[in-house]
Structure 1
């Protein structure tokens, strides 16, 4: 588990919002290359490690996504305060007084804080209202626009949440800024690692797409290039096991991988869903079933690419998604890696054709 923790830490610590995934891609390349027969890259930045079938012609794509949610710089005012716009989905109420990192064009990292008014300066009525993102600003600790620019800050710079990777009281609970979806990136690496000394009867493409958080864009590009026969989008699922969420669903941390039957972008392929349940049962891997009506995954673009690709989204429950902090359970991670490893090991040309029907 130590190497898994290191893998998750390294991948969540690196910064990369949609369109700015270069650092994440570089790290993924380093992890994938020793485990792959070939590295496959598309023109937008998606990267996959291929493990070739010992026999058989069919292929499966296991796809996380490289990007995390964040912001970009849109304006620097005369006093050096920075205006920004979201890249990906944010709820205003989780943003004020949070630390962020601005990455300049030359790669310098500048810490900033999304400013907030102290309660002493707010009326009782104002305290009840949320602040629009357009009214927020980032303070990097300068006196003027000129000084901000001297530090390299410019329009279009990437802004990412800042949060340290840590274990919580029970060390199976991890917190970090970008489990959505560096979890999927780590899984793609670990599945290849699990299979490095195995013969498989399906061509495996395991890696990650770009620009998921802004409309599932990179998944379509990667799928058009790889042309898989089956696909699994590996992403996080909403955890409903906190006091304010438990009435909505049963998905919980520590109870196993989550098979997303339907979300706003995809109805999970019925044949593939049934097959995954069979594999999980055969290998005594507990799974959870859920629907995520308010969100989507790369499955939404993958399944309508080319002539259609039977696709299913599988992930882990995650608390506090799309914020500076999120919480993941290591048992769920381990079991999701094991589940997808066993799925890949069980596939061959005949089985793929059966699943399609």
Structure 2
């Protein structure tokens, strides 16, 4: 899977600008789909038909990543910007961004008397090599994603957009391995999750699923002085019980645990105290559905070097296939 992970994580795709990622995913899923469409918001919806005896199931993994957008260009050619999604100022200085046309910029910050402090976002700027506003290669409204190459560190995989390209990989791999299913399964590669789970909301309203399962990263509690959390890298896929946006359907959580134990898949129980996923809009779309989330443990979320464990990724794929290949009784 590493080749696919590298291809997707290195792609450009800030929230609202997911076209390049969608163009990479579509040929991966096309041979395994009964129907493919792109909706008005830009979600890629891939339908695999069941045998008619099961439920309508929506699987959501978001294509977008955090990024920045140009708000102003100074007369000297420096680029001021705002955030797209959860961008943390402490991660910015000296890092690089890449615009849709490949233009690279370096983020820096105004001087601070106390070097132990961090400037707010509005005190940062991007240097794209321009000498004036006239020769600046980017313009107001242009979006950029962060730029960092994919790296393999043993079983650990590092990239700038594991959130949530790794969820997209899990969805793609599960679709490839899913030979038969009783369910009508809609794999939704969603847009604009990082700015309010917008793509999953419109897709869920249109599809009206019986069951919704998000695929996304979650935090870990296994780094020095980390906030206590019962999730670690390399100890299995994570079954979400609760986050700040939703409480997972108890029957679906029970089913996930049952399928994992039956197949010998290592898993961890996840309670996330900050953040949510595409499961939230699926849960409350229309009259509601049974919603949950398979999470991939990830260190350094919303940084330019997000880290997952390849074994956790594989076990997430296995669990999803186990769920979709058998009846879902809640």
Same fold by TM-score, threshold 0.5 exceeded?
yes
Larger radius of gyration: 1
| Structure-2 separation of matches of 1:76 and 1:109 | 18
User: Residues 33-75 of structure 1, C-alpha deviation per residue, up to 9 Å, x if partnerless?
Assistant: 1110111332101112211112325211111001000111111
Work out which of the residue numbers 111, 115, 123 in structure 1 matches 2:108. 115
2:69 is paired with a residue whose SS is strand
Work out which of the residue numbers 273, 276, 280 in structure 2 matches 1:300. 280
The answer to whether the 8 A contact 2:87-2:302 is kept is: yes
Which residue in the other structure is 1:231 paired with? 212
| Structure-1 separation of matches of 2:82 and 2:246 | 28
Computed over aligned residues only, the root mean square deviation of the Cα atoms, in angstroms, reads: 1.3
Which residue in the other structure is 2:194 paired with? 213
Out of 50-59 and 209-218, give the one that drifted further.
50-59
Work out which of the residue numbers 41, 45, 56 in structure 2 matches 1:44. 41
Which residue in the other structure is 2:96 paired with? 99
Which residue in the other structure is 1:87 paired with? 84
| Structure-1 separation of matches of 2:84 and 2:70 | 10
Which residue in the other structure is 2:139 paired with? 154
1:188 is paired with a residue whose SS is helix
Measure how far apart 1:244 and its partner are. Answer: 2.7
Which residue in the other structure is 2:61 paired with? 64
Work out which of the residue numbers 185, 190, 200 in structure 1 matches 2:173. 190
Work out which of the residue numbers 287, 310, 315 in structure 2 matches 1:330. 310
Measure how far apart 1:182 and its partner are. Answer: 0.4
| Structure-2 separation of matches of 1:134 and 1:307 | 41
| Structure-2 separation of matches of 1:95 and 1:286 | 35
Measure how far apart 1:76 and its partner are. Answer: 0.6
| Structure-1 separation of matches of 2:128 and 2:222 | 36
TM-score (normalizing by structure 2): 0.97
The answer to whether the 8 A contact 1:184-1:208 is kept is: no
Which residue in the other structure is 2:253 paired with? 273
Check if 1:340 corresponds to 2:325.
no
| Structure-2 separation of matches of 1:49 and 1:76 | 40
Measure how far apart 1:116 and its partner are. Answer: 3.9
The answer to whether the 8 A contact 1:319-1:327 is kept is: yes
1:303 is paired with a residue whose SS is helix
1:253 is paired with a residue whose SS is coil
For these two proteins, the number of residue pairs brought into alignment is 330
The answer to whether the 8 A contact 1:258-1:316 is kept is: yes
Measure how far apart 1:224 and its partner are. Answer: 1.4
Work out which of the residue numbers 134, 137, 158 in structure 2 matches 1:175. 158
Out of 53-62 and 314-323, give the one that drifted further.
53-62
1:328 is paired with a residue whose SS is strand
Where in structure 2 are the equivalents of 1:302-317 lying within 5 Å? 302-317=282-297
Check if 1:257 corresponds to 2:237.
yes
| Structure-1 separation of matches of 2:280 and 2:184 | 22
Which residue in the other structure is 1:76 paired with? 73
| Structure-1 separation of matches of 2:298 and 2:166 | 10
The answer to whether the 8 A contact 2:109-2:119 is kept is: no
Check if 1:132 corresponds to 2:120.
yes
| Structure-1 separation of matches of 2:313 and 2:157 | 11
The answer to whether the 8 A contact 1:32-1:48 is kept is: no
1:205 is paired with a residue whose SS is strand
Which residue in the other structure is 2:300 paired with? 320
Structure 1's unaligned 5+ residue stretches are none
Out of 308-317 and 56-65, give the one that drifted further.
56-65
Check if 1:164 corresponds to 2:157.
no
Which residue in the other structure is 1:28 paired with? 25
Measure how far apart 1:207 and its partner are. Answer: 3.1
Measure how far apart 1:321 and its partner are. Answer: 0.5
User: Residues 299-346 of structure 1, C-alpha deviation per residue, up to 9 Å, x if partnerless?
Assistant: 111100011011001111101100111111000000000000000011
